[in-house]
Amino acid sequence: MGFRLNADRITTQYTKTLADFAVGLKYEDIPADVRERAKYIAMQTIGAALATKGTPIQQRAVALGKTIGSGEPQATLWTDGSKVSMAAAAFTAGTLSDALDWEDCSWTGHPAAGIVPTAFIVCEALKKSGKDFITAILAAYETSQRIAMVVQPPAEWNTINGWGLTSWQIFAALVPAAKLMGLTSEQFEQAFGFGCLACPVPSNLHHITMSDAYHFEHGFRANDGILCAQTALMGVDNYTGCFDDTYSWDYHMTSDPQPNWYTKELGSKWLTKETLLKHWPANMWIQTPLELADMMRHKYQIQAEDIQEIVIDPPTFARMFYDSKGYTSLVQAQFSIPFMLATYFLNPRPGKEWFERRLLTDPAILTLAARVHPGPSEPHYMHLNFKDFQNGKFPTKTLTIRTKDGHVYTETMSCHPGHPHNMMTGEEFCDRFRIQASATLDADKLERAVNALNHIEACEDISTLSTYLY
């Protein structure tokens, strides 16, 4: 253990157990359905990143990747093709993976935005196989999700104290890097320790400002995850046991840590399969309203010009924002049910086109968004929704559309496509990837990418797939 104050009181081995699990996990030991889910999580995340091509945030992230990417050209800048260092490539890919809010979602945040780009980039740099890629993804999901669960807010959470979903994201990024770099169990423990150093204090600044800086936070964690793994690989003294008593990381993150989560059902229950994969580029609590809108548009042939009023019941607290002057950031729009429903009806095909800067103040969108109203029920509160999600539930929503000719249409839904209890099929993932990646890839390259990612377990060298990223 090295020198520790009150070392005689250390009674746990959470850090070592997590490290041993990550180091020891083998592709052959993972259930086939879990491996399959990891493959489609990867496809979804890569597609979400490729969908950003041409957006301001994509241009900034690529430019920053080139600026900080000095050193050995090890990996590809997604959507661009330039070769930079692993850490710089991870920064850009992590940012892009979250930019359209189209990747996975858990009660802990967006683990895939750290896990998938980091795993792919390290595999590319080290010429690892598709099986190595999938194994690293699953090692990361199963460890980082448990670490994150230790510090999730209690039911009586005071929202002023913040919620740090991009704080514990560091562990989602460093685990696949450390796994693929071949760290020993002790070095892995050291990497976890560096992750604690690189973990920012949870802050509510994101929800207060609704700034697009939120997307860059995912890039920061991906960059830092690789650096943490690389530093641990070089070795450091006395830096093990960061998750163990008496002064463990979790006590600095929450007033009510649940350390039993560190190793809870580790290796027997696969949290990867409990991740929600978004059907639409929007906040997770807007997936059901959008799915209802899509179903009702097709079922009742409703067009934007027909709509007199849309009522969502129950509404979701902090997701009904509307301002007649428009929206001031991409994130603010992505987190607004009125904006997203209006945008969908005016352009049903999802993609970066939903978030062009001009649309944030577009009169047609704002006019239709003004017709979206909350229903009479008590609002859904997100911290309680997260608790329900942990227990396999999801908030049930009812969408009512009143048309100008007097018709009233109503539909209700809870587990929309992409929810763990209503997961999309392999073909649906492929179809969604085609929509996402068409922003970056031409038709021929797109189909080759679909085939390669759909059979990535057969790939002997991930670096051969880098041309599908730009």
DSSP 404-464: TTS-EEEEEESS-TTBTTBPPPHHHHHHHHHHHHTTTS-HHHHHHHHHHHHTGGG-S-GGG
d(CA 120, CA 228): 17
What's residue 159's pLDDT? 65
Q: Return the structure tokens found at 384.
A: 């309680």
> End-to-end CA distance of the chain, in Å?
46
Looking at residues 82-106, what average pLDDT do you find?
97
Residue range 14-35, pLDDT digits in tens: 999 999 999 999 999 999 999 9
Largest CA distance in the chain: 76
Q: Return the structure tokens found at 184.
A: 């020993």
d(CA 432, CA 353): 15
Q: Return the structure tokens found at 123.
A: 């595999």
Residue range 280-329, pLDDT digits in tens: 999 999 999 999 999 999 999 999 999 999 999 999 999 999 999 999 99
What's residue 118's pLDDT? 98
What's residue 447's pLDDT? 97
Would the pLDDT of 83 be above 60? Answer: yes
d(CA 148, CA 274): 14
| 37 band by pLDDT with thresholds 50, 70 and 90 | very high
d(CA 201, CA 163): 9
d(CA 339, CA 265): 40
Residue whose entry in the numeric block shows the structure tokens 């797939």: 465
Would the pLDDT of 256 be above 90? Answer: no
Q: What is the pTM of this model?
A: 0.95
For residue 467, say if its preceding peptide bond is cis, omega within 30 degrees of 0: no
Please compute, for residue 197, the number of CA atoms within 13 A of its CA located in the half-sphere on the CB side. 15
d(CA 292, CA 214): 28
What's residue 383's pLDDT? 79
d(CA 424, CA 436): 15
Cα separations in angstroms, 189 against 138, 263, 400, 464: 18, 14, 52, 32
d(CA 203, CA 70): 31
DSSP 229-262: HHHHHH--SS---TTSSSS-GGGGT-SS--GGGG
Amino acid code (one letter) for 59: Q
Looking at residues 4-8, what average pLDDT do you find?
63
Amino acid code (one letter) for 240: T
Please compute, for residue 222, the number of CA atoms within 13 A of its CA located in the half-sphere on the CB side. 34
Supply the mean pLDDT for the chain.
94
Would the pLDDT of 433 be above 90? Answer: yes
Of the listed ranges 22-31, 159-168, 243-252, 388-397, the one predicted with least confidence: 159-168
Q: Which residues contact 60 (CB under 8 A, 6 or more apart)?
A: none
| 7 band by pLDDT with thresholds 50, 70 and 90 | low
What's residue 419's pLDDT? 94
Residue range 258-271, pLDDT digits in tens: 999 999 999 999 99
Task: Please give the angle made by the CA atoms of 28, 34 and 40, to the nearest 5 degrees.
Answer: 115
Q: Which residues of 345-364 are buried (b: 16+ CB within 10 A; e: fewer)?
A: bbeeebbbebbeeebbebee
- Residue pair 394/419 in contact by the 8 Å Cβ criterion: yes
Q: Which residues contact 443 (CB under 8 A, 6 or more apart)?
A: none
Residue whose entry in the numeric block shows the structure tokens 């560096």: 194
DSSP 5-25: TTGGG----HHHHHHHHHHH-
d(CA 273, CA 399): 28
DSSP 343-386: HHHH--S-SGGGG-GGGGG-HHHHHHHTTEEE-SSPPB-HHHHH
Of the candidates 309, 110, 122, 293, the one whose C-alpha atom is nearest the C-alpha of residue 217 is 110
d(CA 317, CA 232): 42
Residue range 190-243, pLDDT digits in tens: 999 999 999 998 887 877 888 889 999 999 999 999 999 999 999 888 889 999
Percent of the chain residues past pLDDT 70, beyond the cut: 97
Pairing type for strands 397-403 and 307-313 reads: antiparallel
SS3 of residue 109 by DSSP: strand
List the domains of the chain with CATH numbers: 7-277 (1.10.4100.10), 284-413 (3.30.1330.120)
d(CA 228, CA 144): 14
Looking at residues 396-409, what average pLDDT do you find?
98
Of the listed ranges 303-307, 384-388, 427-431, the one predicted with least confidence: 384-388
Paired residues of 401 in beta bridges: 310, 409
Q: Return the structure tokens found at 216.
A: 């860059």
What's residue 4's pLDDT? 61
What's residue 63's pLDDT? 96
d(CA 309, CA 305): 11
d(CA 289, CA 300): 16
Residue whose entry in the numeric block shows the structure tokens 């960061």: 242
